Chain A
Amino acid sequence: GAGVSQSPRYKVAKRGQDVALRCDPISGHVSLFWYQQALGQGPEFLTYFQNEAQLDKSGLPSDRFFAERPEGSVSTLKIQRTQQEDSAVYLCASSPVGRTLNTGELFFGEGSRLTVL
């Protein structure tokens, strides 16, 4: 489809396992964001890419979280040594404009729900 695609939709991990979450943004979109949404909360910013450059990773909660977008399209969010508090929905969003313009909407994927046991 033409929207933002995320996989897997659901992931169950044992505490201590590593997980990788994939995001396929809308083709040609410059900006890509990762957000974390805990139950009953709003999305919380994790990191921002403009093309392949990670311009902001201020929201990553620890050094166990790592994101990349090597060719400026597909992005992967990796969580090492998962903990129970990492359980959340991880949302990817893309936008056709860079953040130098404070305008434009975010197009969200359906999210990847991570449950850490």
Chain B
Amino acid sequence: DQQVKQNSPSLSVQEGRISILNCDYTNSMFDYFLWYKKYPAEGPTFLISISSIKDKNEDGRFTVFLNKSAKHLSLHIVPSQPGDSAVYFCAASAPTGNQFYFGTGTSLTVIP
């Protein structure tokens, strides 16, 4: 049973515009969330995280929003750049248990 879901397999955005990647989760115990970016033939690299005590965290062009009541988080990239083209995974973890749960990823293409 997939506890973290990314329902959009792919997204295309024009350079300079906003990219919005969405993620939903089912486990109300999750309280720590991360976004990873993955290029082909490379391992995932950490982008940004958010704890459930916050509803927003910003780092440069990247902002993550968390809506706990809806069990939904989103990653905003503004402005989008061609180098942002990659697969983006969201991940979540709970205070108990050892694993991070990953979504299936969204492939972002930023068109120059």
Interface residues of A (CB under 8 A from B): 4, 33, 35, 40-45, 48, 55-56, 58-59, 91, 93, 99, 102-103, 105-111
Contact = CB atoms under 8 A, between A and B. Distances in A.
B59 to A, nearest CB: 12
Contacts of B46: 105-107
Could you tell me the dominant secondary structure of chain A's interface residues? loop
Interface stretch (B12-20, B68-76, B77-85, B92-100): B92-100
B98 A55 contact: yes
Interface of B: 4, 6, 31-32, 34, 36, 41-46, 49, 51, 89, 93-95, 97-105
Contacts of A107: 46
What DSSP secondary structure best describes chain B's contact surface?
A: loop
Given A42-B89, A103-B32, A108 B99 contact: no
Nearest to B107: A40
24 contacts: A4-B43, A40-B104, A42-B102, A42-B105, A43-B89, A44-B102, A45-B100, A55-B98, A56-B98, A91-B43, A99-B97, A99-B98, A102-B32, A102-B93, A102-B95, A103-B32, A105-B34, A106-B44, A106-B46, A107-B46, A108-B36, A108-B43, A110-B42, A111-B43
Contacts of A105: 34, 46, 49
A103 B88 CA distance: 20
Contacts of A4: 43
A44 to B, nearest CB: 7
Q: Which 7 A-B pairs have the closest CB atoms?
A: A108-B43, A42-B102, A45-B99, A105-B46, A56-B98, A48-B98, A102-B95
